[in-house]
Amino acid sequence: MQNVNEWKLKDVLLIAILAVLFGVVYLGCTYMGGILYGALTPLGMASLGYEPFYGIYFIAGAFGVFILRKPGSGIIAELLAAILECLMGNYFGPIIILSGIVQGLGIELIIMFRRYKDFSYGTMILASVICSVFTMIYNLVISGYNQIAVPVLALMMVVRIVSAIIFDGLLVPVLSMKLVKAGLLKGYAVSEEMQVEIDDMGIVS
Amino acid sequence: MKLEKWNPSVKMVTILICVLILSFQYNTVLNTTVFAVMLLSLFFFSEVNPGKVAALLVPAGFAALGLFVMGLYYAKGSSIPVKAMADVDMMPYMVRAALSTNLHTALQLATRLLAYAGMGIVFALTTDGEYFVRSLMHQCHLPPKFAYGILAAFYLMPFMARELKNVQLSFRVRNMCGNALHPNVLFTMLVNSVRWSESEAMAMESKGFCGAAKRTYCEIPEIHPADVIIAVLCIGSMVAGIFILGS
């Protein structure tokens, strides 16, 4: 019998394709972010320009863990996304892999502590907040943000958290549930668990 | 040896070690030296087209400029209100003093980003994607299921970008919002993604692909002594640079 925690080829492909999809979406957003970045540069707040879209960075991990619900799914999903980003020729190269691990860990940590059983909005929002904090710690060390004034960092942190909550805490569960209702995620843990919830509520006879 | 021949996994690990070392250094000269050495190594030890280097340097330079101005205004301990910057002649002495202190931080932030970008650009432009994934499979023990999954998704990318444009257009012709982040557009693309992943998995399995079985490979990337020597040289010269230039 196949281990439920084992990754099937279609799981890998789903996560990899989602990572590419959000890579393409993110690329579109970087144009918007670029305009904001340019506009904010003379004010010394350039890095704030990308913060509203920061939640999209974590979306592959959030989708991975929400749909597959198996140990390591968030981290592996982010790693796949980071390797794909490397293949797309990102100018940070393999450094992206380092941030991918941090993002995956940030998204998965609270879900891991809740033993992959609680995927409520509250948990996903908490996961988004933790992920934002983890990435900011990463920025403090790796990007040298520890040299920046605390109020500016606090503002960036707030915008990043709001972005992560919107994209990962709310949009990911909403879109995943719509996919389940459309009957597209049959065979994935999210679909099976949602079916149990629907049956428990007596909606489906 | 050309940089293109350097084993990608060894190259990746070397760059990551160098990044970790640099992240604990606050040395503008070291950062600038790393950036310059990376660019020079691209010109002397690779076959990269200079135009491609320039194309990646523009966004990296733009990002560095943003960080530079940010460091200049908002370095820890001596932030300057933007309105005080409006008139340089009328700029109070305090502002000018803070600016000169902040200049050091600003340069550190910007040059660190450039050093990272230099290393990243070396990797991005001298590494063949397929060779990298094959190397990850053989040197970093990435399971074949993941390696081929990554490649399958990667080659689907141009098709997905085209499909995203079609979906956006189809919403717009119906006078609906076609923004890529609009839930309707995202949902349609997600539906497509789930279907593609299932079809592609089925196609790969029907051609006999099985991630678990032992398989043969037409070419196996290997680690040669030269790969390790270059890695040791890179890390060694960075450590030597720290001692010579002081932290």
Question: Is A152's CB within 8 Å of B70's CB?
Answer: yes
Q: Write the pLDDT tens digit of every residue in B109-119.
A: 999 999 999 99
- What's CA A100's distance to the chain center, in Å? 10
The average confidence (pLDDT) of chain A is 87
Inter-chain residue contact A9 with B201, CB threshold 8 Å: yes
Name which of A47, A87, A150 is nearest B154 (Cβ-Cβ): A87
DSSP assignment of A72-134 equals THHHHHHHHHHHHHHHTT-TTTTHHHHHHHHHHHHHHHHHHHTTTT--SHHHHHHHHHHHHHH
Q: Which pLDDT value is given to residue B95?
A: 65
Return the biggest CA–CA distance within chain A: 62
DSSP H or E stretch at residue A154:
helix A150-164
Handedness of CA A108, A109, A112, A113 (dihedral sign): negative
Indicate whether this complex's ipTM tops 0.85: yes
Rounded to a whole number, what is the distance in Å from the CA of B146 to chain A's nearest CA?
6
How far does the CA of residue B169 sit from the closest CA of chain A (Å)?
15
Instruction: Please judge whether A92 and B116 are an interchain contact, meaning their C-beta atoms are less than 8 angstroms apart.
Output: yes
Give the pLDDT confidence of A150-174 residue by residue, as tens digits: 988 999 999 999 999 999 999 999 9
- The answer, yes or no, to whether residue A48 has pLDDT greater than 50, is yes
Q: Is the pLDDT of residue A199 over 80?
A: no
**Could you tell me the two tokens for A7?**
């990754």
DSSP state of A7: P
* Closest chain B CA to residue A180: B191
A97 interaction partners in chain B (CB closer than 8 Å): 12, 16
Half-sphere exposure of A25 (CA within 13 A, CB side): 29
| Residue from the list B72, B156, B180 with its beta carbon closest to the beta carbon of A25 | B180
- Percent of the residues in chain A that have a pLDDT greater than 90, as a whole number: 53
Q: Say if residue A1's pLDDT is above 60.
A: no
pLDDT value at position B90?
Answer: 59
The reply to whether residue A93 touches residue B119, judged by beta carbons under 8 angstroms, is yes
Instruction: Decide if A90 and B120 are in contact by the 8 Å CB cutoff.
Output: yes
Distance of alpha carbon A136 from its chain centroid, rounded? 15
Which pTM does this prediction carry? 0.89
Q: What is the pLDDT of residue B174?
A: 94
CATH, domain range A9-201: 1.10.1760
List the domain boundaries for chain A.
9-201
Q: Inspect the interface and report whether the beta carbons of B66 and A147 lie closer than 8 Å.
A: no
Integer Rg of chain B from CA: 24
Q: Which of A6, A15, A21 to mutate to test the interface with B (most CBs of B within 10 A)?
A: A21
- Tokens representing A131 are 């992920």
Share of chain A above pLDDT 70, in %: 91
pLDDT at A38 over 90: no
Contact A152 B116 (CB under 8 A): no
The pLDDT value recorded for residue B212 is 75
Contact list, B69 vs chain A (CB under 8 Å)? 41-42, 44, 46
B78 or B163: which leads in pLDDT: B163
Taking CA–CA distances from A171, the nearest residue in chain B reads B183
Q: Which residues pair with B32 in a beta bridge?
A: none
Cβ atoms of B72 and B95 closer than 8 Å: no
A18–B190: do the CB atoms touch at under 8 Å? yes
Residues of A in contact with B193 (CB under 8 A): 14, 17-18, 21
CB contact under 8 Å between A10 and B156, yes or no, is no
Instruction: Please name the member of A8, A94, A146 whose beta carbon is closest to the beta carbon of B123.
Output: A94
Residue of A92, A139, A143 best to disrupt the B interface, most CBs of B under 10 A: A92
Q: Kindly report the nearest CA distance between residue A155 and chain B, in angstroms.
A: 12
Question: Using CB atoms, which residue from B79, B109, B190 is nearest to A149?
Answer: B79
Q: Identify the band that residue A205 occupies on the pLDDT scale cut at 50, 70 and 90.
A: very low
Distance from the first to the final alpha carbon of chain A:
30
Query: How many Cβ pairs within 8 Å bridge chains A and B?
Result: 211
B103-148 confidence digits (pLDDT tens): 888 899 999 999 999 999 999 999 999 999 999 999 999 999 999 9
Per residue in A63-115, pLDDT tens? 999 999 999 999 999 999 999 988 888 888 899 999 999 999 999 999 999 99
Q: How far apart are CA A115 and CA B101, in angstroms?
A: 49
Report the 3 state secondary structure along chain B: CCHHHCCHHHHHHHHHHHHHHHHCCCCHHHHHHHHHHHHHHHHHHCCCCHHHHHHHHHHHHHHHHHHHHHHHHHECCCCCCHHHHCCCCCCCHHHHHHHHHHHHHHHHHHHHHHHHHHHHHHHHHHCCHHHHHHHHHHHCCCCHHHHHHHHHHHHHHHHHHHHHHHHHHHHHHCCCCCCCCCHHHHHHHHHHHHHHHHHHHHHHHHCCCCCCCCCCCCCCCCCCHHHHHHHHHHHHHHHHHHHHHCC
Task: Verify whether the Cβ–Cβ distance B70 to A97 is below 8 Å.
Answer: no
Which residues in chain B are contacts of A60 at CB distance < 8 A?
none
Q: How far is B61 from chain A (nearest CA, A)?
A: 11
Q: How many CB atoms lie within 10 A of CB B62?
A: 14
